[in-house]
Every structure is written in C-alpha cells, then in structure tokens.
Structure 1
Amino acid sequence: MTTPDTLRNTRIGLNHGSVLMPAAGFGTLIPDPLVTKEATKAALGTGFRHFDCAERYRNEAAVGEAMQEVFKAGIVRREDVFVTTKLWNTNHRPERVKTAFDGSRRRLGVDHIDCYIIHTPFAFKPGDEQDPRDEQGRVIYDSGVTLLETWRALERLVDDGHARSIGLSDITLEKLREIVSAARIKPSVVQVESHPYLPEWELLDFCRGHGIVLQAFAAVGHAMEPNLLADPVITAIAKRVHKTPAQVALAWAIQRGTAFLTTSTKPWRIQENFDISALPEDAMQEIRDRITTHVRFNSVVKTGVPGFIPRVAAN
C-alpha cells in the first residue's frame, strides 16, 4: 500500500492562538493585476492555501477578486486559506498602521488577516508616495519612529481581533532579537530570503527557540545568477529522485522546518512548485554539506528597498 506524500500539505502551528500556517505559500508579487488574478486562481486550483500579499505590490484587489470568486463558487472555503499581507515602509508611524491594515483588508475582501507583517524594518517618509526620494534619488527615511513603536501598533491589531498573528520581514537576527525581547506579542513569522545558497541557519535556530516560523522567499533563487537550480548538487539529487531542481529546493525548505514562498504566472509551473515530495535524508545532508556557494540576491536588509520590486509609478 502506497502512503501518499503529504509534504505539500504541511501546516505549521504558530506561537499565537491556534492558527496553522500552510508551509507551501504562493507569493503574489506579479506586476499586472489581470495576470495576478489568474495566477491566484490557478494556485488555489492547484492546492496552494497560503497567499502572501503586500500593500507595496499594488495588486491586493486582484488577489482579493480571485479569492472571492473561488470562495463564492464553493471550490475553496475562506477558513481553509491563510492570507498574509504586509505593512509598507511609509506607514510605520503608529497612527498610520490601522488605516493601512484596514485598506489591505478592504482590497483583499476579507474580514481578518491571518498574518500581518512589517514589510521591512526601515521606516520611509510617511505619505502616499511609496518610494519617496530626494533630488539625488536617495530614499527619504523617517527617523521619527522606531521599529518597536510600529510593532506595538501591530500588537493592538491582534488585540482588536482582525489580525490573527503578526510578523516581520527582511530583518536581521540582531534586530529580531531586539523585538523578541521587548514584544508583548511575539512575532509568529519571520519572512526572509533563504535557499540553499543562503540557508540562514543561525537565524533559523533562533526562530526555532522562540516558536517563530521562518518563511523563505526567493526559495528557488528567483532566477538570479549564480543559478541555484543549475547547481550540480541540486541537479544530481533531482535526477536521482525523479523531481525537478525547483521541487528539490522547495522540499528541502519544508523538511528543514521552514515555510516557503514561490511565485509563477504559468499554470504548469504553479503545479510543479506544489507537486513536491519528501527527500531522502542523505539528500538533505548533501545539500547542507556539499553546497558551498553563499549569496544574497536581494539587498533589502541594507536599504529597505526590495530589489525584486520594479520602481514604477502607481497607476
């Protein structure tokens, strides 16, 4: 009798409340709203039940439309879908947090957000311009608010009952320690770039010790160079287990105890990214021991500007 592989359906308990977060997440950083909507519906049809959104992506309404259509058709229930969205840098001042949060809820068409995340630890000049720059093209930061003050505002969202959990993104271990030590409600999720070229073992160990889920974005390298999916260790394992290199990298992410985000607009690729199976233990050890390349593709942890988001004016 064959036991079905359940790795793709893994759900991880969060440290606040009784929320279970699907480990396999679909990222919605897709520039075109119509394409976003179709990709979201394809992901729901494939089996993804965790959707990562952001105010900054400017497409929450498209994600919301896709989800509502699927919910109304009775294909998927709202209670089975975990919705994450993120507070952008220009809304770090506590008096702006609730308004930003409610705006995301309205655009997504949901009553509650399962996890609300501070997009980066950097506060930008408050206002409607998401990418405020000076005459020399330099980011205008806001020195009038601390990350802890912003965190306190997120804690109040949990108190109000509309945010079931809260978290941080693009944060260093040093900054995370500061928040964890001072927080009344601990972060449930920390979303950072992570993949076999950037395993973040020290950060992962800290998160494990505090019941925090580390969620990896760019989990298959985001098509950057050097190409993770062409790595000889990954490709050899893929051949051996009859999976694609992307499926190997994503299975590795869940098996080592993290969650992941992956994005595609192609239905066949969305299916591929969900169709993962457990790797043998020797393959897991090979990835840890034999991959020596170390690279960070996104410099957001130094600037607060996500490198994967094109700088375009809002329509």
Structure 2
Amino acid sequence: MTTSDSLRYTRIPTHQSGTIPAVGFGTLIPDPLVTRRATKAALEAGFRHLDCAERYRNEEAVGDALREAFKAGTLQRKDLFVTTKLWNTNHRPERVRPAFDGSRRRLQLDEIDCYIIHTPFAFQPGDEQDPRDEHGRVIYDSGVTLAETWGALERLVDEGHCKSIGLSDITLDKLREIVSIARIRPAMVQVESHPYLPEWDLLDFCREHGIVLQAFAALGHAMKPNVLADPVITAIAERLHRTPAQIALAWALQRGTAFLTTSTNSRRIQENFDISALPDDAMREMRDQITTNIRFNTVVKTGVPGFILRAG
C-alpha cells in the first residue's frame, strides 16, 4: 500500500489494474436528483473512486454528474476510477455483455475500471430485478454457475472497455473457488467490513493474491449496535479531536483495505474524505479492545442486499 500526500490519497496495488484509489464514494442513494448532487459533492471533496450498480437504478444520475464535471474541466477521466456491478438477474453469459453495455451507456463512459458481480447468487433472468414467487420467496436460477458468469466477465476484459473485474458479497470459500479456476483473477472484492466485522482471514487471502478488499458499510450503515458509538472508537476520537467516522475510516485504510462511504450531506461527505493517519496505539486499541462481532447484511446467505429497498 502506498500513500501520496496524506492518508486520504492512498492507492492500493492490484495484480490487474495498477492501483485503485482506496477512498471510495458509494452511490446507493434512492433519489436520482439527490444522487447527482451527492456525486458532485463527492467529486468536489476529492473522491476519485465511485461505486455504482445497475441495481441502484441511478447510474444515469451518476453519469450526469460526471459529464458536468468533465465539461467544466474540473475532472479528467484518467483521474477517476469507476466501478459498477452486474445484477443477479443477468448472470447467464449471454446477458452479461448487454448488461455491461447498458451500464456504460447510462454512466456515459466508454470504459469501466472494474465490473463486479453484485452477488454470487443468480436470480431468474428477466427485467424484474427482484423476482419472487407467490409466497414472496426469491426465484433463483439453477441454470448457470458462478464460474460461467465469471468466464463471461473475463471475455469483457478480452474485448476491451472493461479494465478489470471483481466480486461482491463473497465469502472466503467462494472466493477461493473462483481464484482457483479464474483465467483473470479478481482485481477487487467488495464485502461488508467494519470494526465489528474486520474479515481478517479474507483480507489475508486477498493480499496473498493481489486482490483489493473494499469494505462497504465501513461505518456500520447506522445499524444497531452502532459502530460509531463504540466506546473504544469514541474515546480515540475524543483524544485525537476527530469524529468517530474519521477514526473508523482511517482504521480501514491503515489495515490495508479500501472503503466505501455514502452520504447525501455535503459537510459529512467532506468530513469522510478528510481523514488522517492514526497513531500505532490507536490501531492496537481497535484491534485488541473491540470485541463485538456482527454482520449487518445477510446478502452473503441470500443474494438479497439488505440495504436496498425492494420497492421502487
């Protein structure tokens, strides 16, 4: 891991894409107009890694914000790392390229820096993103394997416009399976990770294979128990005159992960970018004294992201 100027500009090397900006802005924001404003605020704050997804249904709004920044000359495409994701209903190989091209069109970008399989679970193919049976149960697709979907992503890299590929909501066992058969290894995996779910074993595996581990819900996504109210974190924050969020995000970078943070508040967006290194004793305290262990999102068991509303 290398830093330039300060912690907030950390870039993590990967076997496939050179380096990836570790500080990322997530665009899981329901309202398109708010998405556009928040994306603009994130770019102005200094974020250079944007995380998007077909499932968020707001790629057009992100694309509009990018086009505005490019047109104004405040941002160059080469300085930006954009990730977007293949949704569960498009796992069949013949659906992968159309889904990828659809995301590129909506984002108004010729190239995607990293295209990620949103979850390892294939849903019934079709236009309904959340297919359910008459009992409200998800309709899965047993006609395709994750390895077949991965092969289709590898062909996207071969054909151009897709610089690297990755996985999200993946367990260590599933990641091992893909790495063992992959012709092109994942450049990045995106998983829930925060001080209450550090995923040390997964992080060690990723380091061994040149894969970036990117933490989503890096601040706990305001779930209970509240990560940002943890007494170890709040004590460090008070001692260092920083916010608990800044402590948790600095911890994420210094232990070797990238992270995503999402907000619609311009002040908080700036605050989440303005992070600086923690002293060694604070890093030790967080590793040794935080004992709570909890996963907030059950997506790794179902393929249904817990932070995305079904309606809309």
Is TM more than 0.5 here?
Answer: yes
CA displacement, residues 205-237 of structure 1 (integer Å, 9 cap, x when unaligned): 111110100000000010000000000000011
Work out the CA distance in 2 between the residues paired with 1:90 and 1:289: 41
Work out the CA distance in 1 between the residues paired with 2:304 and 2:146: 16
- Report the equivalent of 2:282: 283
Work out the CA distance in 1 between the residues paired with 2:261 and 2:43: 13
Q: Which amino acid aligns with 2:304?
A: V
Uncovered stretches (5+) of structure 2, i.e. residues with no partner? none
Residues 148-187 of structure 1: matches in 2 within 5 Å? 148-187=147-186
Q: CA deviation at 1:21?
A: 1.0
Uncovered stretches (5+) of structure 1, i.e. residues with no partner? none
| SS of alignment partner, residue 9 of structure 1 | strand
Residues 74-93 of structure 1: matches in 2 within 5 Å? 74-93=73-92
| SS of alignment partner, residue 288 of structure 2 | helix
Q: Which amino acid aligns with 1:84?
A: T
- Report the equivalent of 2:29: 30
How much is the aligned-residue C-alpha RMSD, in angstroms?
Answer: 0.8
- Report the equivalent of 1:214: 213
Work out the CA distance in 1 between the residues paired with 2:206 and 2:224: 28
- Report the equivalent of 1:238: 237
CA displacement, residues 14-68 of structure 1 (integer Å, 9 cap, x when unaligned): 21143x2110000000000000000000000000000000000000000000011
Q: Which amino acid aligns with 2:25?
A: F
| SS of alignment partner, residue 222 of structure 2 | coil
Residues 92-107 of structure 1: matches in 2 within 5 Å? 92-107=91-106
8 Å CA contact 1:36, 1:265 repeated in 2: yes
1:255 maps onto 2:254 in alignment: yes
Work out the CA distance in 2 between the residues paired with 1:13 and 1:163: 18
Work out the CA distance in 1 between the residues paired with 2:301 and 2:5: 39
Residues 106-121 of structure 1: matches in 2 within 5 Å? 106-121=105-120
Q: CA deviation at 1:74?
A: 0.2
List structure 1 runs of 4+ shifted beyond 4 angstroms: none
- Report the equivalent of 2:15: 15
Work out the CA distance in 1 between the residues paired with 2:67 and 2:164: 22
Work out the CA distance in 2 between the residues paired with 1:238 and 1:251: 11
- Report the equivalent of 1:311: 310
Work out the CA distance in 2 between the residues paired with 1:73 and 1:135: 50
- Report the equivalent of 1:299: 298
Q: Which amino acid aligns with 1:241?
A: L
Work out the CA distance in 2 between the residues paired with 1:267 and 1:17: 30
8 Å CA contact 1:5, 1:278 repeated in 2: no
Q: Which amino acid aligns with 1:288?
A: R
Work out the CA distance in 2 between the residues paired with 1:312 and 1:17: 36
Work out the CA distance in 2 between the residues paired with 1:298 and 1:17: 28
Work out the CA distance in 2 between the residues paired with 1:67 and 1:111: 12
TM-score normalized by the length of structure 1 = 0.97
| SS of alignment partner, residue 192 of structure 1 | strand
8 Å CA contact 2:17, 2:187 repeated in 1: no
Residues 190-229 of structure 1: matches in 2 within 5 Å? 190-229=189-228
